[in-house]
Amino acid sequence: MTDAYEAYRQKARSWLQSIESEFGREARRGLTEEQDLALGRRYQSAKYAAGYAGINWPEDFGGQGLSHIEKVIFESEEMKFGVPSVYFGISLGMPVPILMRYGPDKEFARERVIKALKGEEIWCQLFSEPSGGTDLAGLRLKAEQDGNGWRLNGQKVWTSWAHYSDYGVIVARTDPTVEKHKGLTYFWVDMKAPGVTVRGIKLAGGDSHVNEVFFDNVRVEDNQRMSPVGGGFAVAITTLMIERYIATDSGGFGPHLDLFVDLAKEVEINGRPAIEDGRIRSAIARNYAMRAGLDSITARAMLMMQAGMEPGPEGSLNKLVAVRSRQKLSELAIDLQGNSGMAFEPHAFVKEDWSASWLNAPTGRIAGGSDETLLNTIAERILGLPQDHRPDKGVPFNQIPA
């Protein structure tokens, strides 16, 4: 890390320390989700005013015009303070950057971008469908031409924060008679438009940040189209790749390993502190080695960025291994506590509560790239193995069995 980047890190850390009492983890404890969102909007506004929102975005759109490195440095520091930024992660991570790049009305886009950076508006990403799984090109929601606009009919699912969103980006099927990748078109939609219905999904961990979204004859104008007709798949792939440079956590965004060590000192196995048991010490050592390995991959990616290079697909290893190991370590921590390990606190923070971490880990293994998708990436792009057999290749979408 160069002196300039280290200075940036120190400056960011100082600012975060200065606002911790107002927006940090302790300030959020006991708040309802609505109260926490309101606090999050104020935090986002303060972050914008301090010059830490849109760090690597163009200044014309309210950004800071800095590099991916400063962005990752800030995010790495920010995650330590437990600030209420989760509501804006999807919005600022994918839909809003895509609006900057592909929005047909630049003045409208600029207005939306700045409001999103300040936390005044939230965007969602409407990709997944009940029958599509991780196969984005298999989506079935229809967009049919209606005069100089379009009508949307169908359903999306697993849409994060749709219930708080003002706008969203959506991919719809506009031509079912061609190959599945070629009949898709990309739009932005007003989430308050007539015919849009959002219904929450209750997750095992107790929260409902994901939703089903139904589109019943929803009208969108042609100037809301963000791709050529039939060219939506390429924009969708860009959406998924646009924020490749994000801060990672070798702990899988779960509790720090030090908390497990503290727990192992407190509880007993056969009348002796668990920390003295060889099996527990082995689990700690293996987890420490794994996290050190993932941190090394992250450090290598940072050095590549500093050298003007693009990090490779080995970053896929980080999420896959980190979240899986978090799930296993959380399960062991619950087991060590016996019956008391089953106590459930619905508002507990995932980064400090083993039960909450374990219950929410399966969501982390699906969201943002499922384990299976990441395994494919590792197999094909790191190990050089051949692609899976694709029986639907070259077949018109309406001839593929449902």
CA distances from 181 to 187, 228, 236, 320 (A): 16, 13, 11, 27
Convert the pLDDT of each residue in 5-48 to its tens digit: 999 999 999 999 999 999 999 999 999 999 999 999 999 999 99
Pairing type for strands 167-173 and 268-269 reads unpaired
Residue 142 banded pLDDT, cuts 50, 70, 90: very high
Which DSSP symbol is given to 198?
E
In the predicted structure, residue 133 carries a pLDDT above the cut 80 = no
CA distances from 306 to 13, 311, 367 (A): 20, 10, 29
What is the rounded CA–CA span in Å between residue 310 and residue 305? 6
Environment class of 7 (CB within 10 Å of its CB; exposed 0-12, middle 13-18, buried 19+): exposed
209, 162 contact by CB (below 8 A): no
Convert the pLDDT of each residue in 115-129 to its tens digit: 999 999 999 999 999
Q: Side chain identity at 253, as an amino acid letter? A: F
In the predicted structure, residue 244 carries a pLDDT above the cut 60 = no
Residue 309 banded pLDDT, cuts 50, 70, 90: confident
Q: What is the pLDDT of residue 317?
A: 85
Q: Find the range with the poorest average confidence among 73-77, 144-148, 241-245, 300-304.
A: 241-245
Q: What is the pLDDT of residue 267?
A: 96
Question: Who's near 361: CB < 8 A, 6+ residues apart?
Answer: 252, 254, 323, 326, 327, 330
- Stretch 281-286: mean pLDDT: 97
**Residue among 105, 85, 171 nearest 136 (CA):** 171
Environment class of 26 (CB within 10 Å of its CB; exposed 0-12, middle 13-18, buried 19+): exposed
The token duo for 270 is: 């056969």
CATH architecture, domain defined by 124-231: Beta Barrel (2.40)
Convert the pLDDT of each residue in 165-213 to its tens digit: 999 999 999 999 999 999 999 999 999 999 999 999 998 878 889 999 9
The token duo for 214 is: 């139904």
Residue with tokens 């300030």: 27
Comparing 3-85 with 248-382, is the CATH topology the same? no
Q: Find the range with the poorest average confidence among 137-146, 183-192, 238-247, 274-283.
A: 238-247
Q: What is the pLDDT of residue 381?
A: 84
The token duo for 79 is: 């995650």
330, 361 contact by CB (below 8 A): yes
- Stretch 231-235: mean pLDDT: 94
Q: Give domain limits for the chain.
A: 3-85, 124-231, 248-382
Q: Which position has the higher pLDDT, 393 or 182?
A: 182
What is the rounded CA–CA span in Å between residue 31 and residue 43? 15
What is the rounded CA–CA span in Å between residue 40 and residue 58? 23
CATH architecture, domain defined by 248-382: Up-down Bundle (1.20)
Q: What is the pLDDT of residue 314?
A: 77
Does the pTM exceed 0.75?
yes
**Residue among 186, 181, 185 nearest 230 (CA):** 185
Q: What is the pLDDT of residue 135?
A: 79
Q: What is the pLDDT of residue 243?
A: 58
Q: What is the pLDDT of residue 387?
A: 84
Residue 301 banded pLDDT, cuts 50, 70, 90: confident
In the predicted structure, residue 264 carries a pLDDT above the cut 60 = yes
Convert the pLDDT of each residue in 46-104 to its tens digit: 999 999 999 999 999 999 999 889 998 999 999 999 999 999 999 999 999 999 999 98
pLDDT averaged over every residue in the chain: 92
Given this structure, which CATH class describes domain 3-85?
A: mainly alpha
Q: What is the pLDDT of residue 153?
A: 98
Q: Find the range with the poorest average confidence among 13-17, 318-322, 324-328.
A: 318-322
